[in-house]
């Protein structure tokens, strides 16, 4: 099981789960969230069977990079208003990326935040690779480019995480089991989210942080009970249809080329 985090360390990357902005007619106590993940739930269909139809997701997913105790960057998506869509583009983007500098303590007091899942943490001194302009700069570039053709915030987050994971492994010579099981991670994340969402609706603050089993192998010098890289590797499902091989670049998300406006 994932571990609850009682302390944070700089150089950490988190996946954030939030309640989407409420519509004018919605009230928090009417949101259709279950109190737990049903045992027969098929997480592989999560992105195909959104609770509220094609245009919406039940959660908003984002990334948060924790620089240090006083600084952090939160990356999220916001749906583009139909009135501001650039009709000159062949395929107008559905979302725009929002980048905010937010201290972690402040983010945890956000009333729409359900919780954070730490997916890896590396030595802060390792986040200054000169050829990439630093991990923060790499994350800025990656999230913005993947947002251009994003159709779901969850797929955007997972695509960015897989690329970030591979970047950190290669740049700093870390040991990685070599696979990221999307279904396994989604099961872990939704179990956490459904358990916490009603506490978030009820206004309980600060919002919690857990450490994901999926990222345990990328946490340097910090192995907690029940969160060991070897266990993650041994327990990972081997169904090739559900596993992304992070060493196989053909399975990485393709970064789109920005379309130029026509006069």
What phi, psi does 145 have (nearest 5°)?
A: -70, -40
Distance CA 45, CA 30 (A): 24
**Would you say 73 and 101 are in contact if contact means Cβ atoms under 8 Å apart?**
yes
Render pLDDT for 213-232 as a digit per residue (tens, 0 to 9): 877 656 655 544 333 333 33
Token output for 75: 């990356």
| pLDDT at 3 (0 to 100) | 54
| pLDDT at 68 (0 to 100) | 79
Task: Spell out, as residue ranges, where the chain has pLDDT lower than 70.
Answer: 1-6, 47-56, 82-87, 89-90, 122-133, 172-179, 216-263
| pLDDT at 123 (0 to 100) | 57
**Per-residue b/e over 72-105, b at no fewer than 16 CB within 10 Å?**
bbbbbbebeeeeeeeeeeeeebbbbbeeeebebe
Distance CA 199, CA 222 (A): 29
* H helix and E strand count, the chain: 5, 9
| pLDDT at 24 (0 to 100) | 74
Token output for 214: 């999926």
Q: Nearest to residue 59, comparing CAs of 34, 24, 91?
A: 34
| pLDDT at 132 (0 to 100) | 38
| pLDDT at 244 (0 to 100) | 33
DSSP letter for 47, please: T
């Amino acid at each position: 099981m994932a571990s609850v985090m009682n302390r944070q360390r700089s150089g950490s990357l988190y996946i954030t789960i939030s309640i989407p902005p409420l519509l004018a007619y919605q009230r928090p106590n009417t949101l259709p969230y279950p109190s737990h993940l049903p045992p027969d739930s098929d997480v592989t269909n999560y992105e195909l069977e959104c609770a509220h139809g094609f245009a919406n997701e039940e959660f908003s997913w984002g990334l948060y990079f924790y620089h240090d105790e006083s600084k952090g960057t939160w990356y999220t998506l916001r749906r583009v208003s139909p009135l501001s869509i650039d009709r000159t583009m062949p395929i107008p983007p559905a979302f725009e990326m929002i980048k905010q500098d937010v201290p972690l303590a402040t983010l945890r007091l956000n009333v729409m935040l359900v919780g954070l899942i730490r997916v890896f943490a590396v030595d802060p001194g390792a986040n200054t690779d000169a050829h990439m302009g630093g991990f923060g700069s790499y994350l800025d570039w990656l999230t913005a480019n993947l947002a251009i053709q994003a159709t779901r915030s969850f797929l955007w987050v997972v695509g960015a995480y897989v690329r970030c994971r591979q970047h950190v492994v290669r740049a700093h010579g870390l040991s990685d089991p070599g696979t990221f099981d999307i279904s396994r991670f989604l099961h872990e994340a939704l179990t956490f989210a459904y358990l916490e969402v009603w506490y978030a609706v009820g206004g309980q603050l600060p919002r919690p942080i857990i450490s994901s089993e999926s990222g345990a192998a990328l946490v340097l010098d910090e192995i907690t009970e029940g969160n060991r890289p070897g266990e993650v590797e041994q327990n990972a499902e081997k169904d090739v249809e559900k596993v992304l091989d992070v060493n196989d670049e053909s399975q990485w998300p393709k970064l789109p080329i920005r379309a130029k406006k026509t006069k």
